[in-house]
C-alpha cells in the first residue's frame, strides 16, 4: 500500500483532521474565520477535513448554525479535498435527514456515533443495527462509525464487521478506545474487504501502533496536519524508521493536545499563528489556563508547525 499526496477518491486515506468551529470574541459564528481555518488546513497537507465533530463543538451549535457551517465549508472547499460531515443524533430520523442534507450539499462521507443520550440512556445492539441501516438507506455516501468512549456504548469488533458486511454504506470506522490497535486488527480480520477505512483518532496519540495494526487513516486535531503527514507519509512509503523518528518529534505536542488542552488546542495555535482572530469557545466551555496555553505554544514551537507561521 502506498500513500502519497491527497486522496480525493475512494478509498479515502491519510490525514483527515477535525476543523474547529470558529467564533468571534462574542461567541457568534465567524464564517470568514472558518474559511481561513479551512484554507490553512488544506495548505498544511490535510488529505480531507471533518467538520461538526465533537472537537468542532457541535454540541453548542443550533441546527441553523450547523447548516451555516456545513454549507459555508463545503462551498468554500469546492472539491479541493473530501469533507466528512458529522451528523450524529439520537433520533434515527433526524440523523438520516442531517445525512441527506450533508450529501446534497457535497459531503463525501458522514461520521456518526451510535445513539446515546446522557450517561445512562443507551440503545440495544438490535436498535443500533437498525439505526445505521435506516441512515444508510437514506444516503448514497459512506458512513464512518465513530467508536469512542463518549457514547459509552459497547461496539464489539464482530458487531462492527457484521454491519460493514450487511449495511451498504457502513464502510469506515474511527476507533478511539483503549486498545485501539487490537480492535483494529480484529475488525480488519473479521470484516476483510467490507472494511474500506479502518482509522484511528484521539489526536493520533496511538498512531504508530494503529498503523501497525492496519489503520489507513487518522482523524486528528486540526492544528498540525503537516506534522501528522510527516509520520504517515513515510510509513506508507515503507520507511518505518523515518515514520517512527517523526512520531517521536511530534509526540510531545500530540500528548499536550490530548492530555492538557483537548479541543481548545487547535484554536489557540490558529490564533497564535494569525489564522483566526479569536480562540473563543462557547460557554460553559472555558478558555485554557494562561500557563497551559503558554506551555502548548512552547511545545509547538519546538517542532515549528505551519500553523504558527501561516497567517504571519
Say if strands 116-117 and 49-51 run parallel, antiparallel, or are unpaired.
Answer: unpaired
Active site residue 134: no
Q: Which uninterrupted H or E stretch holds 307?
A: none
Catalytic residue of the set 6, 174, 240, 242:
174
Distance of CA 155 to the CA centre of its chain: 19
Decide if 114 contacts 155 (C-beta within 8 A). Answer: yes
Residue 285's H or E segment, with its range, is none
Residue-by-residue DSSP string for 177-235? STTHHHHHHHHHHHHGGG-SEEEE-GGGTTHHHHHHTT--EE---SS-HHHHHHHHHHH
Task: Give me 114's grid cell.
Answer: 451510535
| Grid coordinates given for 10 | 475512494
**Residue 57 backbone zone (phi > 0: left; psi -120 to 50: alpha; other: beta):** left
SS3 content of the chain, % helix, strand, coil (to 5): 50, 10, 35
Residue pair 170/163 in contact by the 8 Å Cβ criterion: yes
To the question of whether residue 286 is assigned a binding role by annotation, the answer is: no
CB 144 within 8 A of CB 199: yes
Q: Which positions ≥6 away from 140 have C-beta within 8 Å?
A: 103, 169
DSSP category for residue 289: P
Binding site members: 219
* Binding-site residue ranges for pyruvate: 219
Q: Which residues are catalytic?
A: 174
Amino acid at each position: 500500500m502506498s500513500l502519497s499526496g491527497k486522496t480525493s477518491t475512494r478509498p479515502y486515506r491519510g490525514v483527515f483532521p477535525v476543523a474547529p468551529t470558529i467564533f468571534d470574541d462574542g461567541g457568534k459564528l465567524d464564517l470568514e474565520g472558518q474559511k481561513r481555518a479551512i484554507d490553512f488546513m488544506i495548505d498544511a497537507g490535510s488529505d480531507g477535513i471533518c467538520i461538526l465533530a465533537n472537537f468542532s463543538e457541535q454540541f453548542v451549535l443550533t441546527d441553523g448554525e450547523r447548516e451555516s457551517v456545513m454549507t459555508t465549508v463545503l462551498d468554500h472547499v469546492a472539491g479541493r479535498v473530501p469533507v466528512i460531515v458529522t451528523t450524529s443524533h439520537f433520533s434515527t430520523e433526524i440523523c438520516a435527514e442531517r445525512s441527506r442534507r450533508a450529501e446534497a450539499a457535497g459531503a463525501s462521507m458522514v461520521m456518526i456515533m451510535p445513539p446515546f443520550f446522557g450517561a445512562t440512556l443507551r440503545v440495544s445492539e438490535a436498535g443500533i443495527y437498525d439505526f445505521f441501516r435506516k441512515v444508510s438507506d437514506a444516503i448514497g455516501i459512506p458512513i464512518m462509525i465513530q467508536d469512542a468512549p463518549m457514547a459509552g456504548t459497547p461496539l464489539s469488533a464482530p458487531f462492527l464487521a457484521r454491519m460493514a458486511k450487511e449495511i451498504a454504506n457502513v464502510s469506515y470506522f474511527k476507533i478511539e478506545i483503549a486498545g485501539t490497535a487490537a480492535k483494529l486488527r480484529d475488525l480488519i480480520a473479521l470484516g476483510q474487504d467490507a472494511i474500506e477505512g479502518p482509522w484511528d483518532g484521539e489526536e493520533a496519540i496511538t498512531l504508530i501502533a494503529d498503523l501497525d495494526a492496519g489503520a489507513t487513516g487518522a482523524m486528528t486535531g486540526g492544528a498540525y496536519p503537516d506534522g501528522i503527514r510527516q509520520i504517515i507519509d513515510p510509513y506508507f512509503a515503507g520507511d518505518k524508521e523515518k515514520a517512527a523518528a517523526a512520531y517521536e518529534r511530534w509526540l510531545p505536542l500530540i500528548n499536550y493536545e490530548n492530555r492538557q488542552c483537548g479541543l481548545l488546542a487547535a484554536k489557540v495555535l490558529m490564533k497564535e499563528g494569525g489564522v483566526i482572530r479569536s480562540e473563543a469557545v462557547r460557554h460553559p466551555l472555558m478558555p485554557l489556563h494562561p500557563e497551559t496555553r503558554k506551555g502548548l505554544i512552547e511545545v509547538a514551537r519546538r517542532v515549528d508547525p505551519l500553523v504558527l507561521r501561516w497567517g504571519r
